[in-house]
Structure 1
Amino acid sequence: MHKTIGRDMHQIEPDALLLKVLKTGQPAARKRHLIKSVQKYVSMRMFPIWRDGAVAGAYSVFRDVTELRRLGREVERVTQVAEELTSQLDAAFSRFQMIGQDPRFRTLLTRAVTAARTDATVLIRGENGVGKEGFAKLIHQASLRRNKPMITVNCAAIPETLIESELFGYEEGSFTGARKGGKLGKFELAQGGTLFLDEIGDMPLLMQSKLLRVLQEGEIEKLGREENIPVDVRIIAATNQPLEELVAQKKFRADLYYRLNVISLAVPPLRERRNDILPLANHFLEEYNQRYGKKAVLSRNAGQQLLEHDWPGNVRQLRNCIESAVILCGGLEITPADLTLETPEAPRAVSGSGFSPPAGPLREATLQFERQLIRSALERCGGDVEQAARQLEISRRTLYRKLSDKIDTSAEFVTS
């Protein structure tokens, strides 16, 4: 300020507002004004000085707000950066159907991205259809392993006798029927990348102990090979089962549970994030309109019906519902009549009039009766094996085994 003290203001600050106050005799104020002579932003109030009815001078009271202005600009910059990052994250989340504004869900997404920056084992928990595999893909793509493979293994879909060779592979001639040249296991295929173990709760106990050893030692024992093979794989596991209860029942190893449960992500069911139902529905609507060359829109009544449904099949059920509505709607607007919102019924007993047991041994009659139950469940569920297994209260692995052993898996209603 020493540059201005004692100097003529007309020379050092010819545009000064104080000169205008001196000329007009009218008070003035500014919240933010640049004093050019000192390059400072100030908040100021200016008043005239009257003497004998004439303006004899003027004075101002000001406060330096240069730092406040700088901080304001910094806040604005950081806000724009945050908005841009949020936009980029939303775009990434959208790729994996990670759509929603529910606070709990958004927090979970943030935790997933944070966990992705490490190699820590992640256990994703939640009901069928909530999007556990989507979270696994998101973690892989946000990690440093994104340029390496992500291999998915459905532990419930592989027969118990084959799961070891599927995971670890085998050498040529290691057993009768072994493929010439041997076979790479899922761990070797995922080398340097991510191995996603879906339905980990259905993994047989013997296999659990072998998986634990791989996690501890970082190497696999390949069937028919003398030396162990080092592997560098990040493990993500998922389950819809209460692992704590399985541990208490001695159906799941406690040491493996603790080894997998380093970072736990519990995905909420769709009924607990109802504000996300319509955004998800509209996302799927756009996807299937494009796929089937349509321009369907949701009517208000249809949207309300989606909001009121409990969605036992979660996001997967919502996706299927929208796809069906897009295909079947007769006009441009999807109405409640176009929505398939049935809740799966409990398995019904086969009445005596609906099933005639064949003559012959009890075992054959039992197998025929079991076939009838499985076929009936699959038909009710439109070929959805997972839903049929849930109705029959058996695991998917058991149902797949029964499908391969007892019925024709080429039947058109059998799907994975």
Structure 2
Amino acid sequence: MKIVAAQDFDLRREVEYGSPEQNAAVKQIVQDIKNEGDPALLRYTAQFDRTELTTEHLRVTEEELQAAYAHVEPSFIEAITGAAHNIRQFHQKQKRNSWMDLQPDGSLLGQIIRPLKRVGVYVPGGKAAYPSSVLMNVIPAQVAGVPEIVMVTPPATGGSEGIDPYILVTAAEAGVTEIYRIGGAQAIAALAYGTETIEPVDKICGPGNIYVALAKREVYGIVDIDSIAGPSEIVVLADEQANPAYVAADLLSQAEHDEMASAILVTDSRELADRVSAEVQRQLETLPRRDIAAASVESYGAVILTETLDEGISVVNRLAPEHLEIMVEQPMNILGRIENAGAIFLGPYSSEPVGDYFAGPNHIIPTNGTARFSSPVDVDDFIKKSSMIYYSKEALLANGKTIMELARHEGLEGHARAIEIRLEQEGS
């Protein structure tokens, strides 16, 4: 890994919004699904997934869900159920309640919390098939009280209708029964606009490739979306006491995701910088996804050497990483100074995969520095809030003239008269 001084490291990273050709292709796909429905959905599935389907075969059957269990090890089911329990317990603590506040003048103000009615979860297929992401999307929605959760995932390419059995078993264990074998931009459009077979949703969440990301951006406003996710990121903030083998392994745990993933060590120790750099190369030799991880390390990996740990904290806050590991002697002493990070892992035993799979917090976390203003997926992503106002006669008489003053200042006479007519009739 290259070692650079903090002042020489460019903290900016270009956000990928797709090429003009990719954007044009996605716009066309979305428009075709909107206008044609199922015929366009089947056509694009045949074109991109090389799978010929009929409308009757779009939805995964209960028999297929149950058959998937025969292809999955009992140890996997045990692991999934354990993770699901932890994720559910964590998200239960995020639930909000409606509230009302009775004012002295008899007015009643409040906020009503309701779950979204229908949510679509996109689950990638192929090399990016991650059962854990099924849990991270579905469980917060369930905790929020969403009554309808629909999942879409691509069929196996090359003419097979099959879906990764681990994805199906995870969905079944999570309680999802409405699943369609569609993927790509066409699946996002189908969820947003609906087709003859698929009812439209209120929100779409879940990761995907650039075409999925562009499609989510295209339909935003018709439906809500979780985010436009970028490549995975990890930053490790470490001092001289950190174990270089642990640091290197955790950096590679993210580098193996994608050639564009970012893995960065921030340290004030030149000795640690050298040892971690060497350890990364050593561990790469036996990593199954070596080529992907090596490309990530080469293009987006670095060791940022700072003069002090305080300077390192400043660098971290400017990076606003998706995942931040703090491997210093007293990590809790630093926690309060971290302003921008999606998820924070404290100490040598809180390796990033602990959060990815099992601890309970959500692993769908803001990327590309957006942790400066956004948060991991949680229960709030699947609720909507309505303000409630019951104004008493006493309150209107007391405050009506003030309301009229503000309305007329903005040139909205109709607003003012809506209040004035009540004051004239009720004020006598």
Higher relative contact order (CA 8 A, sep 6+): 2
Shared fold (TM-score, shorter chain, > 0.5): no
Larger radius of gyration: 1
Instruction: Output the TM-score relative to the length of structure 1.
Output: 0.24
Instruction: Output the TM-score relative to the length of structure 2.
Output: 0.23
